[in-house]
């Protein structure tokens, strides 16, 4: 990232960075699930959530300061000492020794074809959405990409269903109403959360004219709400031994937050911006960890190991997040292009092209003031469409959450381990689930 000389280089290096960051996020949850009993995972997950929330609150502010006062490259330099510190701390991590799998064994068990098709299908579909923002949905290339993406995902599903290898998302997890609904809620949670994180700064910088530092400070309520909700949700799960009420509350707050964000405009007060952002952050934070606990409680015994649940959940959540950014982008760009074309003095100008490319700083230079105000209104109304789209997303998540059943979190760990060993010896295709359902 530091040596990036072009946008292609930045994208490639960002993808490399994402491999490490994504793996780290999942491994933390896997380790937590591996060493903490199901009923106590909530409170430990809250501690992780508080750390995550604090980092999310500080990150935009520190990044804004570095970009404003020094260079954007320092944002990536900052990751070097932090990464080295985290690596050093891992030396003191004392976990129970586990049998290691050789690379040959891993190659013989991992579903490479399913993973490749999953990535290609998702990437193709998202590329189609991105292309639609520039060329429209009637463009042949757009149609081809949007059609090919789901087709590849269907093929990936068939491969996952039939493969004798370790599937990325084991199809047996989708055979019950609860696990299928949880994956759906998790996917929609990823869409809503990432859309908010990605496009709220555009509201602050494009509509309000804030610089990167002020925009980072204004994102603090989202991070604060998420951190508070994640900190509270864990002890609530541990104390009540229930996940469904928290998931219901989270989806409702996400819907309320999206509805409130629709009200934002170029005339909104600072208090309104902060309050509406806080509500959205609370909803997203409440869903973060209880979804994983609920999934692991509802999983068949053979899949109750840490890796299957945590990895599958985060694969789906990541797919939701990437879909959210692409969906928000095509919604915003399509609406913005339509509204800018409706301004006669701006249509076809270099200023219009610059704004469509995301150069919102150019808006301040538009003269006369009446024309500038028209552009700001167009930008504000276009961003509003993103939050309008998030309303049915949150509503669908809530409806799916109503399908969840309650599973007990009180387990005898040693007995479960013995049962898992017994179930693992069953012939292929026997997906007996001895988990008690209430």
The domain that contains 34 carries what CATH number?
Answer: 1.20.1250
The SS3 call for residue 67 is helix
pTM: 0.80
Q: 């219901």: which residue's tokens? A: 248
Q: Could you tell me if residue 393 is inside a domain?
A: no
Residue 64: name the closest of 196, 220, 275, 192 by CA: 220
Which range marks the domain in which residue 191 is found?
A: 10-75+174-327+400-424
Q: Could you tell me if residue 1 is inside a domain?
A: no
The SS3 call for residue 110 is strand
What is the sign of the dihedral through the CA atoms of 276, 281, 284 and 286? negative
Q: Could you tell me if residue 188 is inside a domain?
A: yes
Q: Could you tell me if residue 97 is inside a domain?
A: no
Q: Could you tell me if residue 343 is inside a domain?
A: no
- Which residues contact residue 304 at a Cβ distance below 8 angstroms, ignoring those fewer than 6 apart? 296, 416, 420, 435
Instruction: Give yes or no for a cis peptide into 368 (omega within 30° of 0).
Output: yes
Question: Which pLDDT belongs to residue 308?
Answer: 56
Alpha-carbon span 139 to 48, nearest angstrom: 45
Question: Which pLDDT belongs to residue 431?
Answer: 42
Residue 387: name the closest of 218, 238, 265, 235 by CA: 265
Whether 352 and 345 have beta carbons less than 8 Å apart is answered as: no
Q: Please give the tally of structural domains in the chain.
A: 1
Token pair in block for residue 113: 């074809």
| pLDDT tens figures, 344-355 | 888 778 888 888
Question: Which pLDDT belongs to residue 435?
Answer: 46
Q: Could you tell me if residue 102 is inside a domain?
A: no
Q: Could you tell me if residue 131 is inside a domain?
A: no
Q: Residue 263 CA to chain centroid, in angstroms?
A: 24
Alpha-carbon span 293 to 306, nearest angstrom: 11
CB count in 10 Å sphere of residue 417 = 14
- Which residues contact residue 351 at a Cβ distance below 8 angstroms, ignoring those fewer than 6 apart? 362, 366
| pLDDT tens figures, 362-388 | 888 888 888 888 999 999 999 999 999
Low-confidence ranges of the chain (pLDDT < 70): 1-5, 94-101, 300-310, 410-438
| Cα distances (Å, whole numbers) of residue 103 to 31, 107, 136, 165 | 21, 6, 45, 15
Whether 171 and 114 have beta carbons less than 8 Å apart is answered as: no
Q: Could you tell me if residue 198 is inside a domain?
A: yes
């Amino acid at each position: 990232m530091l040596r990036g000389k072009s946008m292609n280089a930045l994208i490639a290096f960002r993808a490399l960075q994402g491999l490490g960051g994504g793996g780290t996020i999942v491994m933390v949850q896997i380790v937590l699930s591996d060493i903490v009993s199901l009923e106590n995972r909530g409170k430990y997950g809250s501690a992780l959530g508080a750390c995550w929330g604090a980092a999310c609150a500080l990150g935009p502010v520190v990044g804004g300061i570095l970009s404003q006062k020094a260079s954007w490259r320092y944002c990536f330099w900052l990751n070097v000492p932090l990464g080295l510190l985290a690596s050093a701390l891992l030396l003191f991590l004392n976990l129970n020794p586990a049998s290691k799998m050789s690379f040959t064994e891993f190659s013989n068990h991992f579903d490479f074809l399913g993973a490749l098709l999953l990535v290609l299908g998702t990437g193709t579909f998202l590329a189609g959405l991105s292309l639609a923002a520039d060329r429209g949905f009637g463009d042949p290339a757009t149609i081809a990409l949007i059609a090919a993406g789901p087709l590849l995902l269907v093929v990936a599903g068939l491969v996952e269903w039939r493969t004798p290898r370790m599937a990325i998302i084991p199809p047996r997890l989708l055979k019950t109403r609860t696990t299928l609904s949880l994956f759906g809620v998790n996917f929609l949670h990823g869409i809503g959360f990432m859309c908010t994180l990605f496009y709220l700064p555009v509201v602050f910088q494009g509509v309000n004219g804030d610089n990167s530092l002020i925009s980072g400070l204004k994102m603090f309520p989202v991070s604060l709400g998420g951190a508070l909700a994640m900190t509270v949700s864990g002890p609530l799960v541990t104390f009540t031994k229930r996940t469904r009420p928290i998931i219901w509350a989270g989806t409702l707050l996400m819907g309320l937050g999206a509805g409130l964000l629709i009200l934002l405009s170029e005339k909104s007060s600072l208090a309104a911006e902060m309050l509406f952002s806080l509500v959205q952050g609370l909803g997203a934070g409440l869903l973060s960890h209880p979804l994983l606990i609920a999934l692991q409680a509802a999983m068949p015994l053979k899949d109750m190991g840490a890796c299957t649940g945590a990895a599958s959940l985060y694969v789906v959540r990541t797919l939701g997040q990437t879909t959210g950014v692409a969906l928000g982008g095509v919604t915003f760009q399509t609406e913005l292009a339509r509204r800018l074309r409706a301004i006669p003095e701006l249509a076809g100008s270099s200023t219009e092209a610059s704004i469509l490319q995301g150069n919102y700083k150019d808006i301040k230079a538009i003269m006369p003031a009446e024309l500038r105000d028209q552009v700001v209104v167009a930008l504000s109304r276009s961003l509003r469409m993103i939050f309008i789209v998030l309303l049915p997303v949150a509503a669908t998540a809530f409806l799916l959450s109503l399908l969840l059943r309650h599973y007990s979190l009180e387990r005898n760990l040693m007995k479960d381990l013995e049962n898992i060993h017994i179930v693992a010896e069953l012939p292929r295709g026997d997906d007996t689930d001895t988990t008690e359902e209430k």
